[in-house]
Amino acid sequence: MTKMIRTLKTLRVKLFLLFIFLFSCSNNNTNSRPNFIIIFADDLGYGDLSSFGHPTINTPHLDKMASEGMKLTQFYVGSSICTPSRAALLTGKLPVRTGMYGERSVLFPDNASGLQPSEQTIASALKSLDYKTACIGKWHLGHLEEYMPMNHGFDTFYGIPYSNDMRPESQWDYARNNFPPLPFLDGVDTIGVSLDQSQFIKMFTDRSIDFIQQNKNNPFFLYLAHTAPHTPLMVNKENKGKSKRGLYGDVVEELDRSVGKILNTLKDMNIEKNTFVIFTSDNGPWGWRGINGGSAGLLKGNKGSVYEGGYRVPSIAWMPGRVEEGIISRSICSTLDLYPTIMAISGNKESQINGLDGIDISRALFENLPVRTNIHYYRKDTLVAIRHKEWKIYIDDPNPWNDEFTKADLPLLYNLDQDPSEKYNIADSHPEIIDDLIQIAEAHIKETIVAPSQLDAILPSHREAYDRYNKKK
C-alpha cells in the first residue's frame, strides 16, 4: 500500500512537470503579447486591388487576406500626400499638430528638418514595452540622423530616407542639379547609392521575413513601408509583363506576392493568431502620372487632393481568431487610429493617450462596430472639409487650381453613403445639416493648435541653389 502511494505521488509529480513543460513550449511558440505589422504601400489607389474592384490587376494574396480578415471600405489617411501621411500614421496626430505640413507639401533631400524626436511614435511606445521594432522601406520623415527611424523608437532601419524619385535621374531639373544619388541605408550606415530599384520589393520582403523569424519568441512591431507603386515604376525580370494592366499592374502584383510571403511566414511559424497585420496605402493614386499612376476607382480625386480619392485608401485587417473572416466593414477608420488601437491591443492600460487625434478602433476591427464619426481633410494647414458620419462638407474650395467651384458656391455638401463619387452637391436641400457641420468644423479649428511647419527649412548648403531656382519660376 505504501509503495502504491509512493508510485502515485511520483506519477503526479511527473504529470505536473510534463504540464509545465508543455505550457512552456506553448508560450515559446506564441507570445502572450501580440505582434504588429503595418504594410504601407506608396500611392496605391482605392481601386487598384482586385478585391476593391480592379478588373485587370490580379491580387490573389491580398484577396485571400481580405477573405480571412476584414476589408475596410471607409478607411482614411491623415493626409493625402506622403510625408504628412506617414507622420500621422506613426504619431496618431494630424500633421498640423506635429508641423509636418508646409508650402512644399513633403520633405526633400535639401530640407533641414523633420519629425521632431520629441514626438512619441508607435515604435517608441512599443519599445518602452520591450517590443522589438523595425522600419523597413521608405522613411520620408527627415533624412538627417536626428530625424531618422532609430531616433523614433526603431531598433533597426533598412531602406531609403525619402522618396525613390528624389535623385539626380529625376525629370525635375532642380533635383537633377542639386540632389545626391539615392542612398540606401542599413541602420545608420549607407550601404549603397543608386541601387537597382527593381529589387526593392524583394529586398524589403526578405529583410522583413528575417526580422520576423529572428523575433518569433519576442513581441515585435514591423513597419514595412514599400516604395511601390510610387514612380519610377520598376519590377524585376521574373515579374515583368505578367499583368494585363502593364507595368503598373506588374508592380502591384509583385506587392501582392510580397504580402503573401509575409502572411505565409507567420502561418509557417505558427504565430499568425498572435499577429495583427494591416495593409493600406499612404494616400491616393498619383493621377497626373498618366498610365504609370493608379486608380481611385469610383472615388473623385487623386493624391494631394481633399477629395475622397486622395484621402480614402484600400485597407485590409488580418488576425486569425480575432478579426472575423470575410467581413466587409463600412466603419469609418483612419491611419490616425492605429497608434491608440495598437496600444490597446497590446494590453497597455494607458492606451487612451492624451493629445492624439486617433482613437481606439479595436471594437471596429474585432466586433465590426462603428467607433469613429469624423474625418478632417486638410490642405497644408487649412481645414478644407470635414466628414461627420455620412455627411461631408467643404468649407473651402476643394480645388482652387480650377474653376469647378468658386467661393460663392460654398459650402458644398455630399452624402458619402449615397454618393461616394461626390457628384451631387445637396447643400441647398439640407440647411440644418450645414449648420451642424459648420459648428463641428469651427470647434475643431478652435481647439486645434497648429505647430510651426517643419517642411520649409532649407539646408544652408542648398539655400543659394534653392533661392536661385525659385526666382526663375
Catalytic residues: 82, 140
Contact between 140 and 163 under an 8 Å Cβ cutoff? The reply is: yes
Q: Which residues contact 96 (CB under 8 A, 6 or more apart)?
A: 378, 381, 448, 450, 451
Distance between CA 387 and CA 117 in Å, rounded?
Answer: 31
CB atoms within 10 A of CB 244: 10
Distance between CA 280 and CA 34 in Å, rounded?
Answer: 20
Nearest to 95 by CA among 80, 79, 81: 79
Distance between CA 465 and CA 87 in Å, rounded?
Answer: 28
Distance between CA 126 and CA 290 in Å, rounded?
Answer: 40
How far is residue 70 CA from its own chain's centroid?
A: 16
- Largest Cα separation within the chain, whole Å, is 103
CA atoms within 13 A on the CB side of 219: 20
- Whether the ω angle into residue 420 lies within 30 degrees of 0, i.e. cis, is no
